[in-house]
Structure 1
């Protein structure tokens, strides 16, 4: 990269999640680029837009927009033209494609995807479920789960569960601890069970950091509270991972190696495994 500093303005009439995701994905392809994001969300009035335009003029840079109000779009375009800046309306190509397919125009409504509908309340319900069933809590409630994540301590079970909950998936997670019996509900699970694994070296580093945060007084896993050294011992961790892998293999639970995966990628793999589980179950009748 040339070392050029770029201001990139993201303007949305809703939460800005769409723009943030697109910008993050695009910026990741420009290694070393110095790009400063300026996020402007919930822009639904001329007064709010004028404050945004003042910010753009102070920190000049191209604009990505998901505004759907035609008047606000027009004013934004005029201001950017005056400043010699590019503006790109990210949803327009999708709108054009769908309009051609349906033969009908859109009815622009800011934040329309965030209505309090059944899908919204399903996500909230899933979030409450994850909180109640995190790290092996409320075992009897496993019968209500859409998926059960298992894995050794610090293998990304909790963050993956919360990400899935944001998709409306009730994800319970159960720690695999040598010497501790599994919940009987896992003998005949009512939903897919997926094992999450991580390689030994990064796992030890994560655990060491965790122990330092806790003051090394007690490990985060109950089984290691009496001996924090075993929690980060290379040989002990290797044996723990081997035991967990063999356990999942013996029960035919699919596994995901999370070592070099983001939470989003891990969740996507879990969703694919859930789909496969349901397809196989449907074929069996």
Structure 2
């Protein structure tokens, strides 16, 4: 049965990231339904809101909004009521709950999470660190890393590191290359080291795509060890054995998104620091990530 398309308006006085995340998370549960997104960000004046209202009148549909300015909120709600379309401030219930628990009124401050404070500059610094220590570069600076990811080529190390950097985490990544030794800095690492692994078939497909992108097609693709099934399988197995020998936990990224991989890395980092601070027995790994050499969850292979 075909479903009619609906318009969804996301109205924010900031970047709109919150609304985009909420819409993406909720709409993922509705398969085979076509939703046309209308994103309106940085709406901070009546003139800017008028453009939104005009668009809403031409293509009416439900509205999700995060607006701090009360006059803009009221104007938007009045138009929605007149047009007969639902309108929801997505943060109001959460704000009411927290105000009741904290016992204080929230300040009417737009984009409070995007201020250029110490946390902001920490994220920028982390981004620079990832760039300088990507794919085995700048190994002498690994001692400054907060986590180091290791794994075979194209096992999602780089995108995971960049996602972590956006959380303010200095992440280095080092490729495990057949026949090549790891940098000496990983002999006695000062930060948690996490291995990323991936199923053979998925890795071969990612590498084939990579070769096509760089123009290395034809006979090279059919002969190179880079995508030879037996060679790739051996490479993955050798990498896992290395992680087992070093006692590094491993995450299988075959059917895991970058966000899920990064979340598991953060859990492993927390467990590593807890063990180090308490000096107690090794904490159990988080769901989806076991010690190296054991089954390590599911995930989506990405290029590294």
TM-score (norm 2): 0.89
Unmatched segments (≥5 aa) in structure 1:
218-224
Report SS of the residue matched to 2:212: helix
After superposition, give the CA deviation of every residue in 1:172-204 in whole Å (9 maximum; x if it has no partner). Answer: 000000100100000000100000111000110
Q: How does 1:1-285 map to 2 (within 5 A)?
A: 2-216=2-216, 229-284=224-279
In the aligned structure 2, how far is the partner of 1:226 from the partner of 1:246?
Answer: 27
Query: How far apart are the structure 2 equivalents of 1:235 and 1:38?
Result: 48
Runs ≥4 residues deviating over 6 A? 225-228
Contact kept, 8 Å, 2:163 with 2:258, in 1: the verdict is yes
CA distance in 1, matches of 2:76, 2:52: 9
The Cα of 1:6 is off from its aligned counterpart by 1.0
1:68–1:247 Cα change, 3 Å: same
The 1:87–1:166 alpha-carbon spacing in structure 2 relative to 1, beyond 3 Å, is: same
Match in the other structure for 1:220: none
Measured in 2, the distance between the counterparts of 1:4 and 1:25 equals 21
Determine the C-alpha separation between the residues in 2 that align with 1:213 and 1:104.
Answer: 55
d(CA) in 2 for partners of 1:103 and 1:78? 30
As a proportion of its length, which structure holds more helix?
1
After TM superposition, give the deviation of residue 99 of structure 1 in Å.
1.0
Distance in 1 between residues matched to 2:69 and 2:95, nearest whole Å: 14
In the alignment, the residues of structure 2 paired with residue 131 and residue 204 of structure 1 have an alpha-carbon distance, to the nearest angstrom, of 26
Secondary structure at 1:230's aligned position in 2? coil
Cα drift, residue 228 of structure 1: 6.2
CA distance in 2, matches of 1:201, 1:69: 53
Deviation at 1:226, TM superposition (A): 12
Mapped to 2, the partners of 1:197 and 1:226 lie a distance apart of 22
Aligned CA RMSD, in angstroms, stands at 1.7
**Residue segments in structure 2 that go unaligned for 5+ positions in a row:** 281-304
Deviations 1:220-260 (A, max 9, x none): xxxxx999611000000000000000000111100111111
Q: Residue deviations 1:38-95, cap 9 Å, x none?
A: 1111110000000011111111110000111111100000010111110110010111
- Cα gap change, 1:50 to 1:141, in 2 (>3 Å): same
What is the TM-score normalised by the length of structure 1?
0.95
Distance 1:183 1:228 in 2: 29
Whole-angstrom CA distance in 1 between matches of 2:75 and 2:100: 27
The whole-number CA distance in structure 2 between the counterparts of 1:238 and 1:4 is 47
Report if aligned partners of 2:211, 2:221 keep a CA contact under 8 Å in 1.
Answer: no
The answer on whether the counterparts of 1:216 and 1:228 sit within 8 Å (CA) in structure 2 is: no
Report the Cα distance in structure 2 between the residues aligned to 1:274 and 1:63, rounded to whole angstroms: 39
- Aligned equivalent of 1:221: none
CA distance in 2, matches of 1:103, 1:283: 35
Output the CA distance in 2 between the equivalents of 1:2 and 1:105: 46
Quick one: distance in 2 between partners of 1:25 and 1:212? 33
1:106, distance to aligned residue in structure 2 (A): 1.4
Contact 1:123 1:168 in 2 (8 A): yes
Q: Judging changes above 3 Å, is the alpha-carbon distance between structure 1 residues 226 and 179 closer, same or farther for their aligned structure 2 residues?
A: farther
